[in-house]
Amino acid sequence: MRANNYWLAFGIGVAAGAAIALLYAPQSGERTRKKLRRGVENAVDDASEHLKDAGDYLKAQAERFTDEAQDAIKRARGQASRLVDNAGDRASNVVESVSDRVADAVKSAKALV
């Protein structure tokens, strides 16, 4: 029974508070609803403006990161191309050197025979 009394007293208190708030409200309910509606509309407008700004910022950041990534890819391609060219040149030098040594070895072998 104690819990029932508590909830009954709570309900009476809420009803009394609501009645007093309506009696002492500084303006009519219609006017209050209009103010609330304007406040909500302003909040929605502000939120949509913030979201638009955030979207614009994120778009600009994505474009900047895309440009930076493309530049990095171009640099990496250039470096890879230079590495391949250098490796090709060194391989050619090694082949020439080995070819010269084989030719020298063949000459030496012919001279011995």
pLDDT, tens digit, 9 for 90 and up, residues 94-105: 888 888 888 888
Q: What is the count of structural domains for the chain? A: 1
Which pLDDT band holds residue 53 (cuts at 50, 70, 90)? very high
State residue 1's pLDDT score: 54
**pLDDT at 61 > cutoff 90:** yes
pLDDT tens profile 1-11: 577 788 888 88
Radius of gyration of the chain (CA): 43
CA–CA distances in Å: residue 27 to residues 22, 35, 42: 9, 10, 21
Q: Is the pLDDT of residue 47 over 60?
A: yes
* Predicted TM-score (pTM) of this structure: 0.46
DSSP secondary structure string, 61-84? Answer: HHHHHHHHHHHHHHHHHHHHHHHH
* Tokens read off for 52: 């638009």
Res. 63 pLDDT band, cuts 50 70 90: very high
Cβ proximity of 32 and 39 under 8 Å: no
**What is the residue range of 7's domain?**
2-112
